[in-house]
Amino acid sequence: MRDRRHIPITAPQLAMLAVGLCMTGSLGADVVELKEGGQIRGEIVRDDSASRTELTVLSPLGRVVIDRARVERMSVESPAEVEYRRRAPAVSDTVEGQYAFALWCRDNGLGDAMRRHLERVLALDHDHEASRRLLGYQRIAGQWLDRDQRLAARGLVRYQGDYRTQQEIELLKRQVAIEDGVREWSGKMDGLRKALLSNDPDLARQATDTLHSLDDPLAAGPLSEWLDTERDPAIKRLLLQSAGTMDHPATLGVLARIALDDPDAESRVTAIEQLAASRAQGLSAPFVAALTAKSNAKINRAGDALAVLGGSGELAPLIEALVTTHKFRTGNDSGGDSYAFNPGSGQFSFGGNAPKVVTQRVNNPRVLAALVELTGVNYSFDQQRWRAWLASQQVAAQVDLRRDP
């Protein structure tokens, strides 16, 4: 029986063998590209029982066994590619020969090969018009210009796979720089939190100082994300103060969310104080929108904020939010009987075990407090009197404007 042991091929030996096999004609249509460089052409032996760590190729020089770790990729040549390798050595190095073979490549779907042979035609005849046209050149003012050159003349440059103006390229580069800066700050925020929680007082002090002096706009997004998820009360207070010093949409947005939605009353108050200290424009907008929320608690929290941040422009929506309608579940969710008292009839009603949804009008005391704070008058929850008062104020303001010289 023949000894089937094979001797391992070293990387240099394999690279030299690959070069030799690339130069040798092959009937096989499989191509094995090696990490060391070069290709081996032949027929890959597809045997389910073969070793998964090795690859066997039947090449013109014999049977080659390769460590799969050295293989970059494997592909199958098309019949046209096999025929190209068979014909290419016999093509004459003349304008006519190279151009005719380029057309054969085009007709057989070998675009890269066509371009190589057309470039060879131009090396032999710089002004070969047909080759120039096939390569995308146009004659402009007596010069052959390819697409890149024509677009460059119009101020367009190829960048990231497309043709763009220099201004577009600068904007894209700036956007990349911003994204890189934000990622860098995200990493820094993780480090600052670890420092704040460490047992090293110097590290904690340095982290605190960094957050107090934070003014880089690229840090606003990562700081807001941290603040949104922080649960440690002491760290959260520090982050609220830091966010308040940055006049940035991201930090102002997270302060507004905390003022409306945070379960901790102290955090809500601090967020409102930081918003007020920022003196930014349009701070009342999210709180006016919250006056129409389904949650009665959220409406009252909006009132807390508008008492500090609101002005005459917020009076009308505050009046409309003095008394709001909400749906509540009543009954016994545990499955027992439910009881309800009807004040009109003076009787109890008895229901089954399914909970019911009832609609109620609810007074919002903190909305009233905001109105009193902003106006100096108090009509309690009487919306009609509030509306009449506001209308009289608006009429008086219009009269004053007409009298103004």
Half-sphere exposure of 107 (CA within 13 A, CB side): 7
What distance in Å separates the CA atoms of residue 318 and residue 300, rounded to the nearest whole number? 10
Mean pLDDT (whole number) for 150-173: 87
Percent of the chain with pLDDT over 90: 59
The reply to whether 206 and 277 lie within a common domain is yes
Residue 401 covered by a domain: no
pLDDT tens by residue, 238-292: 999 999 998 899 999 999 999 999 999 999 999 999 999 998 889 999 999 999 9
For the chain, counts of helices (H) and of strands (E): 17, 13
On average, the pLDDT of the chain sits at: 84
Q: Are 61 and 20 in contact (CB under 8 A)?
A: yes
Residues 274, 184 within the same domain: yes
Q: Torsion-angle region of residue 183: left (phi > 0), alpha (psi -120 to 50) or beta? A: alpha
- Specify the DSSP element, H or E, that contains 277: helix 265-278
HSE, side-chain direction, 13 A CA sphere, residue 51: 10
- Tell whether 160 is covered by a domain: no
d(CA 243, CA 255): 8
Residues 213 and 136 in one domain: no
Residues 374 and 311: their CA atoms lie apart, in Å, by 7
129-167 burial string, b = 16+ CB within 10 Å, else e?
eebbebbebeeeeeebbeeeeeeeeeebeeeeeeebeee
In this prediction, residue 158 has a pLDDT band, given cuts at 50, 70 and 90, of confident
Answer yes or no: is 339 within a domain.
Answer: no
Over the stretch 179-227, which tens digit does the pLDDT of each residue have? 999 999 999 999 999 999 999 999 999 999 999 999 999 999 999 999 9
90 and 133 share a domain? yes
User: For residue 31, is it within any domain?
Assistant: yes
- Tokens standing for residue 273: 């104080």
Q: What is the CATH number of the domain that holds 93?
A: 1.25.40
Tell me which amino acid residue 186 is.
S
Domain extent for 49: 11-77
Residue 204's domain is classified under what CATH number?
Answer: 1.25.10
CB 88 within 8 A of CB 60: no
Q: Examine the domain organization and report whether 221 and 144 are in the same domain.
A: no
The answer to whether residues 34 and 53 belong to one domain is yes
Q: How many domains does the chain have?
A: 3
Retrieve residue 281's tokens. 């424009």
Does residue 140 fall inside a structural domain? yes
Look at strands 162-165 and 338-342 and give their pairing: unpaired
Q: Last residue of a domain, which of 243, 264, 283?
A: 283
| pLDDT score, position 397 | 64
Q: Is 327 helix (H, G, I), strand (E, B) or coil?
A: strand
pLDDT at 334: 52
Among residues 49, 77, 105, which one ends one of the domains? Answer: 77
The CATH number of residue 69's host domain is: 2.30.30.100
Residue 349 in this model has a pLDDT that exceeds 50: no
Same domain, 68 and 86: no
pLDDT at 399: 55
- Looking at the structure, do residues 208 and 252 belong to the same domain, yes or no? yes
The answer to the question of residue 275 being in a domain is yes
d(CA 270, CA 258): 9
358-401 confidence digits (pLDDT tens) = 889 999 999 999 999 999 999 999 999 999 999 999 887 665 55
- Is there a single domain that holds both residue 222 and residue 145? no
Measured CA to CA, the distance from residue 44 to residue 53 in angstroms comes to: 14
Instruction: Provide the pLDDT for residue 154.
Output: 82
Report pLDDT digits (tens) over 58-110: 777 778 887 888 887 887 778 898 899 899 999 999 999 999 999 999 999 99
* CA separation for the pair 238, 240 (Å, rounded): 5
In a domain, 299, yes or no: no
Report yes or no: 92 and 82 within 8 Å, Cβ to Cβ.
Answer: no
Last residue of a domain, one of 77, 96, 126: 77
Q: Say if 149 falls within a structural domain.
A: yes
pLDDT of residue 140: 87
Can you give the pTM of this predicted structure? 0.61
Looking at the structure, do residues 130 and 56 belong to the same domain, yes or no?
no
Tell me, yes or no, whether 71 and 105 share the same domain. Answer: no
pLDDT surpasses 90 at 155: no
* 133 lies in the same domain as 63: no
